[in-house]
Structure 1
Amino acid sequence: MFANLIGRPKAELDTPSLTVDLDAFEQNVDKAAAFLASKNKQWRPHAKCHKSPVIAHRLLRAGAIGVTCAKVSEAEVFAQAGIRDILIANAIVGSQKLERVASLTHWADPVIVVDHFVQAEALAAMCRKRGTTCRVILEVNIGMNRVGIRPGTDTRELAQGVAKLPGIRLVGIMGYEGHLLALSDPEEKAHKIRNAIAILEETRDTMLQDGIECSLVSAGGTGSIEITSECAAPTELQSGAVIFADPFYSERCGLVGYTPALRLIATVVSRGKLERGILDAGRKTLHPDTHPSKLIGTVEGRPLNDAVIASLNAEHGILELGPQSQDLRIGDKVEIIPGYCDFTMILHRALFGIRGGLVETVWPIPGRGCLQ
């Protein structure tokens, strides 16, 4: 439905439209892949930031080993697109979901996270019923205090029990240091992340001493990519949003050396007051949580240095305009860097790839809305 837009100037896109600067995106992808390879870490980027098999395949070509996702329905989207190595970094509970996981093993090679024997036992029983086997890993609570088995004796006993279940194969562990990504003091952040990842190292060593496989140790967020990659234990990092490098990661998490790649194009639809402009993009287009979005200028490249996004309503964005920006007219189009890609991508059906100011490609986002 968007084929007629290929080759057209980005200014001709109907609004609101989410776009990606292809040069910045590709530089980010290649830089992250090369960096992790230099640290002898595999890359299994989390797909929550893009929800797109097209992008996942681009990351695979750069060196990623597979994808991470949160839901069975997301895994199905990527498996249907030919991606086999899929980590579902979430506990799967309920017979319908377990049936789908068992079916998924016939055309992909998923890894399922568990943090309780009840979850593992149910998955193993379903796999036996369907005549298949599924890889599993244990999620260890390394300080996030959301999910994950308590490290130490509890984890050891769970590993021993899960390893004995026919129908599943325990292959490793994971942990997420997400509670530490936005620490402002670099030394404190590095120290606490290293301590958190050390819990995974101790867990791995205990499992190996017990004769239990632990060939996969998964960790890492975009906001901790440099620190976690220096830790010995992880075999792979899930850092995914580095490909877009949105302001949350650069301004809150200290990510450096990557270029923000996403842009939201919106139109000025009302100018009721000299110091105010109203956009056709609100909360249904840009999610206000986690980190504010940044107005960068018009699509023609004119900066709007004294204009800010003051607030977002359902359908509208309210701009506060300083003296240099008060000549904005109804019909002018502006560009915005979304503050946090994970909460933005799910609001859109397609991502428009821009190079040299022209629409080069249009990528569908079939993973949006995959909640089960």
Structure 2
Amino acid sequence: MTARAADRTRYNRATAHLDAPIAIVDLDAFDANADDLVRRAGGKPVRVASKSVRCRALLERVLARPGFAGIMSFTLAESLWLARAGFDDVLLAYPSADRSAFAELAADPKLAAAVTVMVDDHAQLELIDASRAGGREEIRVCLELDTSLRMLGGRVRIGALRSPLRSPAHLAELARSVARRPGFRLVGLMAYEGHVAGVGDALAGRPLRSRAI
């Protein structure tokens, strides 16, 4: 019996008394994966992506381990929910247009201290201010820089089109706007090298692709 088949047998036995649908997590494997992430991070703190770990108890478990710090969340509404649940470092991964959630954020000092929103355009600052509904809390802002690979004068682009901020000059201009604007505080910068992340460079049976990468 293979290791995977043995695991399946063990899981089936452990959940035989439960009605489907169910989801299970092998906590030994979960903890081992967490340890390996910390090892590969080489001393840098690991921020957990909540869109990949859709269980609050597991988020609490992994963030209690050395080497982990903070959550990268999926939506602004989820960010507020996590902050209300006690998570005090929540980075929203994407710009949002959720006006009601921005109103909640701007009105609650606990939420405003815990949640950082993503911005990549001046218009998003305008939307946030228009959504405040009287809330005066300072909004923490992170800017996202597009780091996709551009070649041949920009005619060829490899990687996700994550942000319209495509140069240091564009980034600096928006950063100055945030810094000058009352009610906002610039606290971070994010970039995602999608053309590199998750792309293998030693693919079994694909030597030409591996060489190209």
Q: How far 1:22 moved relative to its partner?
A: 1.3
Gap regions ≥5 residues in structure 1: 1-7, 193-372
Aligned to 2:119: 114
Match of 2:14 in 1: 9
* Structure 1 range deviating more: 101-110 or 120-129: 120-129
- What is the CA–CA distance in structure 1 between the aligned matches of 2:132 and 2:103, rounded to whole Å? 8
Q: 1:13/1:128 Cα in 2 relative to 1: closer, same or farther (>3 Å)?
A: closer
Residue 183 (structure 1) aligned with residue 187 (structure 2):
no
Which whole-Å CA distance do the structure 2 matches of 1:159 and 1:68 have between them? 21
Query: 1:167 — aligned with what?
Result: 183
Report the secondary structure of 1:20's partner residue: coil
* RMSD, aligned α-carbons: 2.7
Distance 2:145 2:180 in 1: 19
User: CA separation in 2, counterparts of 1:163 and 1:106?
Assistant: 22
Q: Does 1:43 align with 2:78?
A: no
Superposition deviation, residue 92 in structure 1: 2.0
Matching residue of 2:33: 28
Verify: 1:101 aligned to 2:117, yes or no: no
From 76, 81, 88, give the equivalent of 2:85. 81
Residues of 1 paired with 2:46 and 2:40: CA distance?
10
CA contact (8 A) 2:76 2:98 kept: no
Which deviates the most, 10-19 or 112-121? Answer: 10-19
Matches within 5 A, 1:224-235: none
Separation of aligned partners in 1, 2:59 and 2:15 = 24
1:131-180 C-alpha deviation (Å, 9 max, x unpaired):
21121011111112133412232222111112111111012210112343
Higher relative contact order (CA 8 A, sep 6+): 1
Using a 3 Å threshold, how does the CA distance of structure 1 residues 176 and 164 change in structure 2: closer, same or farther?
A: same
| Runs of 4+ with >6 A deviation | none
Deviations, residues 242-284 of structure 1 (Å, cap 9, x unaligned): xxxxxxxxxxxxxxxxxxxxxxxxxxxxxxxxxxxxxxxxxxx
The answer (yes or no) to whether the contact 2:80–2:115 under 8 Å persists in 1 is: no
Is the aligned partner of 1:53 residue 2:69? no
Of 90, 104, 119, the residue aligned with 2:94 is 90
Q: Kindly indicate which of the two structures has a greater share of residues assigned to helix.
A: 2
In 1, the alpha carbon distance for the partners of 2:131 and 2:182 equals 10
Letter in 1 for 2:94: N
What TM-score, normalized by structure 1, do the two folds share? Answer: 0.44
1:156 aligns with 2:161: no
How far is 1:104 from its partner?
5.0
Max Rg structure: 1
Q: Which SS does the other structure have where 1:45 is aligned?
A: strand
Match of 2:65 among 35, 49, 62: 62
Contact residue 103 and residue 133 of structure 2 kept, 8 A:
no
Cα deviation, residue 116, structure 1: 0.3
Cα pair 1:67 1:85 within 8 Å, conserved: yes
Distance 1:40 1:145 in 2: 29
Task: State the 1:124 CA deviation.
Answer: 4.8
Answer yes or no: is the 8 Å Cα contact 2:47–2:71 preserved in 1: yes
Q: What percentage of aligned pairs have identical amino acids?
A: 31
In structure 2, how many angstroms separate the alpha carbons of the residues matched to 1:96 and 1:178? 31
In structure 2, the gaps of 5 or more residues are 1-12, 149-159, 204-208
The separation in 2 between residues aligned to 1:148 and 1:61, in whole angstroms, is 36
Contact 1:111 1:137 in 2 (8 A): yes
Change in CA separation of 1:167 and 1:128 when aligned onto 2, cut-off 3 Å: farther
Between Structure 1 and Structure 2, which shows a larger proportion of strand residues? Answer: 1
Indicate the residue corresponding to 2:5 in structure 1: none
Give per-residue Cα distances to partners, 1:7-26, cap 9 Å, x unaligned.
x8323332342211111111
Query: Cα distance, 1:105 vs. partner?
Result: 4.2
Cα deviations across residues 293-346 of structure 1 (Å, max 9, x unaligned)? Answer: xxxxxxxxxxxxxxxxxxxxxxxxxxxxxxxxxxxxxxxxxxxxxxxxxxxxxx
